């Protein structure tokens, strides 16, 4: 098979080249990669990672000569039949790489060529409508207000209020479910001891330990002597329309009280689902998942009000990965929440499924332009260099989020082979970011590069406070590159953890 042939990624079905080591969209490794030589070159301190066909003389990603080159073909296709994960622009067919051992000679990169590269980067930035809004705000309101605005955009995930109602009688698994959803462990302030509270009469609020704007309410079952429907309405009726989602816990069949509640929820237009917990206990007793499902589905189908309602059978036994219908349950939740709330929830749900990993990845990827802009903004105005404390702190803090969101800080990761970012402390992250920027600074001294005013765009001129435009553009470019690289690697680490533990099931 020709290495330049386009194939489909086995995971996300997007187009990739046969020789491409990783998929550009999902970041996962191409298992059917065309066998060849791994390029040993680098792009600004980052290993190229191309797999080069033996008939390719020079790597199209970094220009390094292929030591395993086999002559015998003069096809232009062979000269460009390799790709690179982190290369953001394709090599122009009219611009051929020259065979040289000094692909990143700092003397040749300082001056007009680098200036034009940075202007090109800024023009790419200007194609984003949201970044154009930031430029306009910077020009109109100044740097302090703009910095505050960027901070608010990045804080959206932690400031979004989310309220979930978990309704059902005692002993149906509500406390265990809430502890799992909020990653609450014994000793946490809001940890719910099973059976420790009287949920027949009162509702209890449980907040996420890392984001108190996410709250799960353990609400009592009703339709009993102790909690009649009338009493339930009197105590909680005014709050029912304030929830974002309802989990209705059931046992063996759908009851009349469940039908009444669904009718109320539908009137509010609020999404909901039925949940049957403790699946692991049923299986230990000899019952099958399908047997339990069929009985409950017949009960649901028998009533026109609840017919068609989503039903999920779950077990809270396995932390972070879980069994039963958890994958389908999380898809249902995120599908029925507004996008901004679904993204916020994905930041804090301690769950690893392929769908949730992708949701986390997409939500984090949207932040990259703001983080990179923030770094370029500081560097363009305050310190015209890549390896300054502002860049290191800004990018390091975001990478800490990646590490937490993908659950790579959990003890379960320590036992998994093939995880690249394992035991990644704050100091490790700081050193990782520092090394990245220092390596680039050694070959591209940002502080000495300036752009002639006659080729400045107005928004680019504004971006850096009327000076050192090249510094801001270069920092944006490489901060973005670092974040994309790290995000993709940590996403792959999350898949590795999931694959490891699901194989043990």
Instruction: Bin 29: left if φ > 0, else alpha if -120 < ψ < 50, else beta.
Output: beta
Longest dimension (CA), the chain: 88
- Encode burial over 349-364: b for 16+ CB neighbours within 10 A, e otherwise: bbbbbbebbbbbbebb
Report residue 253's pLDDT band, with 50, 70 and 90 as the boundaries. confident
pLDDT tens per residue across span 37-84 = 666 666 545 555 556 666 566 665 566 777 666 554 443 333 233 333
pLDDT tens per residue across span 12-38 = 677 776 666 566 656 566 666 555 566
H-type alpha helices, 221-353: 229-236, 256-268, 279-284, 289-301, 326-336, 339-348
Please, what are the domains in the chain?
1-104 (no CATH), 107-156+364-503 (no CATH), 160-358 (3.40.50.300)
Best mean pLDDT range from 4-8, 285-289, 379-383? 285-289
pLDDT of residue 91: 31
> Picking from 61-65, 123-127, 206-210, 361-365, which range would have the lowest pLDDT averaged per residue?
123-127
Whole-angstrom distance, CA of residue 358 vs CA of residue 354: 6
Whole-angstrom distance, CA of residue 366 vs CA of residue 149: 16
Beta bridge partners of 17: 6
pLDDT tens per residue across span 464-488 = 443 444 456 778 888 889 999 999 9
SS3 label, residue 413? helix
Whole-angstrom distance, CA of residue 292 vs CA of residue 484: 44
pLDDT of residue 161: 94
Beta strands in 119-185 (DSSP E): 162-168
pLDDT of residue 443: 55
Whole-angstrom distance, CA of residue 7 vs CA of residue 14: 8
Q: Which tokens is 199 given?
A: 């949920």
Report residue 399's pLDDT band, with 50, 70 and 90 as the boundaries. very high
Residue 488 and residue 358 in contact, taking contact as beta carbons nearer than 8 Å: no
SS3 label, residue 157? helix
Report residue 102's pLDDT band, with 50, 70 and 90 as the boundaries. very low
Whole-angstrom distance, CA of residue 4 vs CA of residue 76: 11
Residue 447, pLDDT > 70, answer no
Residue 311, pLDDT > 70, answer yes
Residue 328 and residue 353 in contact, taking contact as beta carbons nearer than 8 Å: no
> What single string gives the DSSP state of each residue in 101-128?
S-TT-HHHHSSHHHHHHHHHHHHHHHT-
Q: What is the mean pLDDT of the chain?
A: 74
Beta bridge partners of 8: 15
pLDDT of residue 9: 75
Cα dihedral 332, 182, 235, 159 sign? negative
In Å, how far from its chain's centre is CA 116?
33
Dihedrals phi, psi of 51, to nearest 5 degrees: -105, 115
Residue 392, pLDDT > 60, answer yes
H-type alpha helices, 74-111: 76-79, 106-109
Q: Which tokens is 251 given?
A: 């046992």
pLDDT of residue 408: 95
Whole-angstrom distance, CA of residue 348 vs CA of residue 175: 18
Whole-angstrom distance, CA of residue 3 vs CA of residue 50: 11
- Against a cut of 0.85, is the pTM above it? no
> Picking from 211-220, 317-326, 370-379, 444-453, which range would have the lowest pLDDT averaged per residue?
444-453
Spell out the residues 6+ positions from residue 296 whose beta carbon is closer than 8 angstroms to its own. Answer: 250, 252, 253, 254, 274, 276, 311
pLDDT of residue 127: 54
Whole-angstrom distance, CA of residue 167 vs CA of residue 315: 17
Residue carrying structure tokens 């009280």: 257
Residue carrying structure tokens 């972070």: 320
pLDDT tens per residue across span 153-181 = 888 888 899 999 999 887 788 888 998 88
Whole-angstrom distance, CA of residue 489 vs CA of residue 278: 35
Beta strands in 411-492 (DSSP E): none
In Å, how far from its chain's centre is CA 90?
26
């Amino acid at each position: 098979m020709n290495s330049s042939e386009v194939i489909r990624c086995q995971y996300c079905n997007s187009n990739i080249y046969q020789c491409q080591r990783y998929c550009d969209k999902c970041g996962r490794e191409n298992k059917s990669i065309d066998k060849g030589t791994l390029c040993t070159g680098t792009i600004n301190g980052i290993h190229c990672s191309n797999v080069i066909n033996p008939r390719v003389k020079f790597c199209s990603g970094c220009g390094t000569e292929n030591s395993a080159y086999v002559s015998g073909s003069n096809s232009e296709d062979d000269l460009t039949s390799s790709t690179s994960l982190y290369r953001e622009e394709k090599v122009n067919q009219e611009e051929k790489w020259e065979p040289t051992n000094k692909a990143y000679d700092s003397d040749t990169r300082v001056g007009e060529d680098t200036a034009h590269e940075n202007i090109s980067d800024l023009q790419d930035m200007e194609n984003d409508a949201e970044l154009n809004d930031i430029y306009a705000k910077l020009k109109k309101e100044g740097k302090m207000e703009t910095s505050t605005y960027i901070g608010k955009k990045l804080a959206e995930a932690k400031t979004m209020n989310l309220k979930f109602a978990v309704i059902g009688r005692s002993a149906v698994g509500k406390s265990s479910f809430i502890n799992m959803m909020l990653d609450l462990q014994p000793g946490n302030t809001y940890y719910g001891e099973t059976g420790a509270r009287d949920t027949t009469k009162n509702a209890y609020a449980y907040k996420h330990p890392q984001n108190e704007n996410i709250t799960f309410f353990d609400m009592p079952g009703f339709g009993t002597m102790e909690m009649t429907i009338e009493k339930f309405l009197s105590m909680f009726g005014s709050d029912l329309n304030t929830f974002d989602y309802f989990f209705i816990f059931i046992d063996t069949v759908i009851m009349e009280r469940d039908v009444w509640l669904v009718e109320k929820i539908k009137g509010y237009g609020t999404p909901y689902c039925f949940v049957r917990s403790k699946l692991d206990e049923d299986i230990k007793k000899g019952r099958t998942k399908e047997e339990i499902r069929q009985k409950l589905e017949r009960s649901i189908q028998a009533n026109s009000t609840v017919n068609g309602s989503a039903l999920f059978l779950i077990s809270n036994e396995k932390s972070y990965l879980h069994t039963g219908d958890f994958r389908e349950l999380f898809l249902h939740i995120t599908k029925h929440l507004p996008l901004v709330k679904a993204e916020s929830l994905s930041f804090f749900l301690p769950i690893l499924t392929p769908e949730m990993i992708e949701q986390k990845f997409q939500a984090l990827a949207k932040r990259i332009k703001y983080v990179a802009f923030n770094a370029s903004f500081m560097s363009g105005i305050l310190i015209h260099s890549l390896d300054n404390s502002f860049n290191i702190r800004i990018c390091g803090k975001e990478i800490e989020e990646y590490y937490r969101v993908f659950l790579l800080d959990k003890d379960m990761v320590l036992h998994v082979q093939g995880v690249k970012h394992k035991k990644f402390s704050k100091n490790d992250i700081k050193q990782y970011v520092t090394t990245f920027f220092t390596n680039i600074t050694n070959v591209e001294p940002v502080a000495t590069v300036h752009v002639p005013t006659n080729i400045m765009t107005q928004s680019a001129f504004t971006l850096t406070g009327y000076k050192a435009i090249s510094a801001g553009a270069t920092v944006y470019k490489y901060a973005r590159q670092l974040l994309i690289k790290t995000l993709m690697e940590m996403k792959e680490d999350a898949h590795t953890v999931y694959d490891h533990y699901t194989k043990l099931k």
